[in-house]
Amino acid sequence: MISIKDLSKVFKTKDQDVRAVDKLNLSIDKGEIFGVIGYSGAGKSTFIRLLNRLEEPTSGNIQMNDQNLTGLSKNKLRIARQEIGMIFQHFNLLWSRTVFDNIAFPLEIAGIAKSKRVERVNELIELVGLSGRGNSYPSQLSGGQKQRVGIARALANNPKVLLCDEATSALDPETTDSILDLLVNINEKLGLTIVLITHEMHVIRKICHRVAVMESGRIVEAGDVLDVFLHPKEKVTKRFVDQVMGDPDREDSLHLINQNYKAGEVIQLHFVGENTNQALISELSREFTIDVNILHGKITQTQKGAYGTMLVQLVGDQDEVDRSIAYIKTTSVEVEVSPDV
């Protein structure tokens, strides 16, 4: 669906050249929700604007919908962009136009007949949950409602790809969740490919099938969301996973645990999918002559299933503790002995 090869963007300034995107390679499948996450300055906003050539690439190739976007003339690009919708962090609505007219605007530009425009806009108002608000102006809407207008407008020309540039970062948590639910619904109903960028791992966790982590203009890690949660390799990825699963003071917490729970062995368990329902702790207590002390635990849900972690202390004869750890390793629950940062 989308194939990106050696994509680069260099901004030239008086003092230096800034490489915002650096030889980036990525493949995004048709119909998936693909997340790109990174901290400020990672290059993710530049990257998503390169995808529809709002920014012109310095080098590289973007293949989308069987077209080489980087090789299109301005006229052909204008036509190709009708298949690429985009929503923005700050909505970018026309404040002098009603909800109806904001959504209709791309259809007007495309030369769609008025009767068909009215039909299409009414469909979209219903789809995004704004029934009865067609005559309202943006100033009369909440932030979530404004973003729903932005989503409807982006869908006006029946695009195949929807680009989301920090689409929820200006919203409160409850409104964010409602917008994310809407995006999932659109993805499932329309089979739309969605590419979103964010700095919030909660967004990735909730709706994305796969994720790429950006740092200094490069993709440093990518994969299925559940795999990235379970096995984050890069330090930046571990920081993002800790936003959802971890303890922001993990280093201090482990230090306190090592101070206060010197007896026995402290281990960290990782549960995935159906394993989150496994009664492992009670099994250990029954099968081995040890005491199991639960220190900390958390479970969360991703698009591919549940993921949980638990810190426990095993107290007893060392041979019995070692046997219990060996038993855990025979299950599908992953175990990390003496976890550190």
pLDDT of residue 271: 79
For the beta carbon of residue 318, count every other beta carbon within 10 angstroms: 10
Distance, CA of 122 to CA of 99 (rounded, Å): 11
Tell me: do 276 and 196 sit in the same domain.
no
- Is residue 237 located within the same domain as residue 305? no
The pLDDT-based confidence of 278 (bands split at 50, 70, 90) is low
pTM for the model: 0.82
Token pair recorded at residue 219: 């993709």
Q: What was the pLDDT predicted at 341?
A: 39
The two beta strands, 161-165 and 84-88, are parallel
Cβ count near 276 (within 10 Å): 16
Which CATH number goes with the domain that contains 318? 3.30.70.260
User: Is the pLDDT assigned to residue 236 strictly greater than 80?
Assistant: yes
**Residue 229 has what pLDDT?**
83
Residue 255: band (very low, low, confident or very high) from pLDDT cuts 50, 70, 90: low
- CATH code where residue 206 lies: 3.40.50.300
- Over range 267-289, report the average pLDDT: 79
Q: Are 118 and 254 in a shared domain? A: no
| Residue where a domain stops, chosen among 244, 278, 298 | 244
Considering only residues 298 and 141, tell me which one the structure prediction assigns the higher pLDDT.
Answer: 141
Please state, in angstroms and rounded to a whole number, the distance separating the CA atoms of residues 199 and 21: 17
What's the confidence (pLDDT) of residue 175?
Answer: 94
Which tops the pLDDT comparison, 260 or 68? 68
Span of 18-32, 88-102, 294-308 with lowest mean pLDDT? 294-308
Alpha-carbon distances, residue 68 vs 23, 79, 157 (angstroms): 17, 13, 20
Q: Which H/E stretch holds residue 27?
A: strand 17-28
DSSP output for 145-203: HHHHHHHHHHTTT--SEEEEESTTTTS-HHHHHHHHHHHHHHHHHH--EEEEEES-HHH
Domain boundary pick from 244, 260, 291: 244
Residue in 81, 156, 86 with CA at minimum distance from that of residue 125: 156
**Domain with 54 in it:** 2-244
Residue 256 has pLDDT above 70, yes or no: no
pLDDT tens digits, one per residue of 153-204: 999 999 999 999 999 988 999 999 999 999 999 999 999 999 999 999 889 9
> Over the stretch 297-329, which tens digit does the pLDDT of each residue have?
777 777 767 777 888 889 999 999 999 999 988
How far is Cα of residue 235 from the mean position of the Cα atoms in its chain?
18
Instruction: Check residue 251 and give its pLDDT.
Output: 54
- The answer to whether residues 71 and 202 belong to one domain is yes
DSSP alpha helix (H) spans, the chain:
44-50, 74-80, 99-109, 114-127, 143-154, 173-190, 201-207, 225-230, 235-244, 250-260, 280-287, 318-330
Q: Which of 186, 218, 244 is the last residue of a domain?
A: 244
Higher pLDDT, 338 or 18: 18
H or E segment at 290? strand 290-302
Count of domains in the chain? 2
